[in-house]
Every structure is written in structure tokens, then in C-alpha cells.
């Protein structure tokens, strides 16, 4: 599904643990690392797409997370021409995303990259909240910075203090 402006509706997921570190995943067959994200189906809300993508890409279920909030409206980024699929019609020039901040409630044994027939990730680590902004592929940096800036106040919520019990 591509909107009239050439953007694919998409969701991005920032999964944070009790130490305020975020889940940072390595793409299969690539040196690229990123947050989980994925396209929306025509019959899905952003929230429904987020939970589906969360499960497909990490193996996590809603019981493993607490929804802390989301960005207001769409954040957009353009794909460099070399990443645009010029043979596909309509042409997708980028993604428009709603970003979600989730608190991870489980332990790391809950992760499974095989929940989908075509896994997107092969490894992960927990990193500092702002680390992804400088380490994601260049064309996504602006949208990562904007998403994290909008979500950071939700991460500062006093009820998110580390209790030592995930």
C-alpha cells in the first residue's frame, strides 16, 4: 500500500528495558542494525500493525510489553533512489511511520527471530537510548532523531524507574 504522495504507511518500534536501554537488532545477511519496523496492511490500524510486526520480527507477544505511547501523526523519510523499486507501481519514494515506545516486561529468553518464515533479524543487543541516531543507516537518522525526541518524555515517566524486576 502506497499513499498518493508515494509513501508507504509503516510502524516503528522502540522497545526499552528497565535500564532505559533500547532493543537494537541486526538485519539478516547485512551489517545493518535498526529498530523493528514494518508496513501496515490495508485493514490494520497502526496499533494493530505494531503488535503484528513486534511478533513477526522479535517473537514477542503483547503480554511481554507495556505500551507507553506513540508519536503524534506520521513521521516521514525518503528512500535514496538506489533503494527505490522503480519497477514497482505505484513508486514508493519513502516511508511514513507512527513510532511506538514499549516497555519490555519479559526476559531475553522471550525473543525469537523465527516467528516469521523470513526472519528480518539475526542478532540484537541493548544500547543507550540515543545510540541508534548515530548508528542507523544515514537516510533514517533524521526520522530516528525526531521519533526518539518525541518519545523520550514518555521514557522519563517516574513509573518507569528500574525496580530490578522486569
Residue 159's pLDDT is 54
* Structural domain boundaries enclosing 108: 7-160
Residue 61, in any domain of the structure:
yes
Q: Which of 100, 124, 95 is nearest to 112 (CA)?
A: 124
- Domain count for the chain: 1
What is the pTM assigned to this prediction? 0.90
Residue 2, in any domain of the structure:
no
Q: What CATH number corresponds to the domain at position 93?
A: 3.90.79.10
- CA–CA distance, 124 with 126 (Å, rounded to integer): 7
Residue 163 pLDDT greater than 60, yes or no: no
- CA–CA distance, 163 with 149 (Å, rounded to integer): 25
Q: How many residues does the chain have?
A: 166
Residue 165 pLDDT greater than 70, yes or no: no
- CA–CA distance, 82 with 39 (Å, rounded to integer): 20
Q: What is the pLDDT of residues 65-108, one digit of tens each?
A: 999 999 999 999 989 887 777 677 788 889 999 999 999 999 99
Q: What is the pLDDT of residues 99-139, one digit of tens each?
A: 999 999 999 999 999 888 889 999 999 999 999 999 999 99
Name the percent of the chain lying above pLDDT 90.
Answer: 73
Residue 60, in any domain of the structure:
yes
C-alpha cell belonging to residue 28 = 539478516
Percent of the chain as helix, strand, coil, to the nearest 5: 30, 30, 40
Residue 165, in any domain of the structure:
no
Residue 166 pLDDT greater than 60, yes or no: no
Residue 111, in any domain of the structure:
yes
Q: Tell me how many helices (H) and strands (E) the chain has.
A: 3, 8
Q: Which of 40, 50, 21 is nearest to 126 (CA)?
A: 21
Amino acid at each position: 500500500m502506497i499513499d498518493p504522495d508515494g509513501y508507504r504507511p509503516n510502524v516503528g518500534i522502540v522497545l526499552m528495558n528497565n535500564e532505559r536501554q533500547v532493543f537494537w537488532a541486526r538485519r539478516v545477511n547485512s551489517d545493518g542494525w535498526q529498530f523493528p519496523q514494518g508496513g501496515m496492511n490495508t485493514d490494520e490500524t497502526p496499533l494493530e500493525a505494531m503488535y503484528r510486526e513486534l511478533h513477526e520480527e522479535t517473537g514477542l507477544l503483547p503480554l511481554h510489553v507495556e505500551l507507553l505511547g506513540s508519536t503524534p501523526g506520521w513521521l516521514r523519510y525518503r528512500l535514496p533512489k538506489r533503494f527505490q523499486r522503480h519497477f514497482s507501481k505505484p513508486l514508493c519514494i519513502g516511508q511514513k511511520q507512527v513510532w511506538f515506545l514499549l516497555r519490555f516486561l519479559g526476559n531475553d529468553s522471550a525473543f525469537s527471530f523465527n516467528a516469521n518464515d523470513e526472519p528480518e533479524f539475526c542478532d540484537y543487543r541493548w544500547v543507550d537510548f540515543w545510540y541508534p541516531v548515530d548508528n542507523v543507516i544515514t537516510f533514517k537518522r533524521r526520522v530516528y532523531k525526531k521519533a526518539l525526541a518525541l518519545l523520550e518524555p514518555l521514557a522519563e515517566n517516574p513509573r518507569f524507574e528500574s525496580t530490578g524486576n522486569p
